[in-house]
Amino acid sequence: MRVFLDNAATTSMSEEVIQAMLPIMREDYGNPSSIHACGRKVRAKIEECRKKVANNIGASIGEIFFTSGGTESNNMALKCAVRDLAVKRIISDPIEHHCVLHSLESLQREGIQIDLVRVDERGRVDYDHLEELLESSDAKTLVSLMHANNEIGTKQDLNRISEICQAHNALFHSDTVQTMGHFPISVEETKISFLSGSAHKFHGPKGVGFVYISSDNLLKPFIDGGSQERNMRGGTENVIGIVGLSKAFELAIDNMNERQAYIEDLRAYLKAQLTEKFEDIQFNGDHDGDYLYTVLSVSFPPSPKAGLLLLSLDIAGISASGGSACSSGAEKGSHVLAAINAGIDRKTIRFSFSHYNTKEDVDFLIEKLKALTPMKEMVEA
């Protein structure tokens, strides 16, 4: 038996998405830049997908650009804002995904001022400090803060950040890779300059995503080449991926409330089982406040087997992670856990869920953990 509890790293493709992609592989294989009938048919499919994505976040069609995924989308927003919009300063925080932090390091080497807003022990942004930072300089500023953290699940208030940015005439970028398709996001209701999505986080294919760029911000191409994506990203479009993304996003939006209620129940069940049965279990992030319901970051106490806990779970048939999948090839210390001062002597495992998980999956996990971490002594009545 194999139980997959690493859905923050990737999700399985739903059968409906696979079925939507098959005709593109079998029949509609024309190049969308070709002017003949085969090309025009495929071009129409891309634009239909663009319209669906735009409608689902309240954007206009001309504000959606398809990319290879969240990393490219975030790089594009940050680096093009500096290059094309005269941004001289970026405010972010220390718990962003590495694709944002490494982009900031690159921009800092080019002379861009980078300031980090404080986060508390649960990873929540200090909004007063954000205002202080914005008030401290007249330089053209971009604020880049993720919607929900991929490791600990802490969720930030997009509306509040947007209002602060507007009050100080700052641009606002948010990495929404973990929340897109899981929470309602509307750029009509929340003024935002840039946001990102990645299909494989909501049961679509890997290697495709999108970036929303507000029409107020005119950028030049991130990838030079042909005239694809309205001259914003050269290269033949990943039509198969775009169709899969569109279908997966449509399903995620249509079933959002039902899926959330189901996953919330699973997450609560795991929390209760861990707390009831095991010694000294703690949870990282804003786990009982404003959180990403697909993620539960669990802190296990020191024990003889704690160091190999993740590997032991894998051997037992459970796929989970110690943090971001993008940096877990070698199990290094998490920059997120370090930033929130999580105990370095403890072992953190991130369990993340989808609507395909079951309570039987959780029971299987609990049973395997009994041999791996200290249990509470059961007192007979």
Tokens of 311: 């590997």
Which residue is catalytic, options 49, 99, 165, 326? 326
Q: How far is CA 290 from CA 75, 125, 187, in A?
A: 27, 12, 20
- Three-state SS for 82-140 is HHHCCCCEEEECCCCCHHHHHHHHHHHHCCCEEEECCECCCCCECHHHHHHHHHCCCCC
Tokens of 186: 């509307």
Beta-bridged to residue 349, according to DSSP, are: 298
Neighbouring residues of 104: CB distance < 8 A, sequence distance ≥ 6? 78, 90, 92, 96, 112, 114, 144
Active-site annotation holds for 326: yes
Residue closest to 351 by CA, chosen among 315, 300, 301: 300
Q: How many CB atoms lie within 10 A of CB 136?
A: 12
Tokens of 26: 């079998």
Amino acid letter at 10? T
Residue 344 sits at φ, ψ, to 5 deg, of -75, -15
Tokens of 234: 């050269």
Decide if 107 contacts 142 (C-beta within 8 A). Answer: no
**DSSP E strands: which ranges in the chain?**
3-4, 64-67, 89-92, 113-116, 141-144, 171-174, 194-198, 209-213, 282-283, 295-300, 318-319, 347-352
Distance from C-alpha of 241 to C-alpha of 374, rounded to nearest angstrom: 45
Supply the residues annotated as catalytic: 326
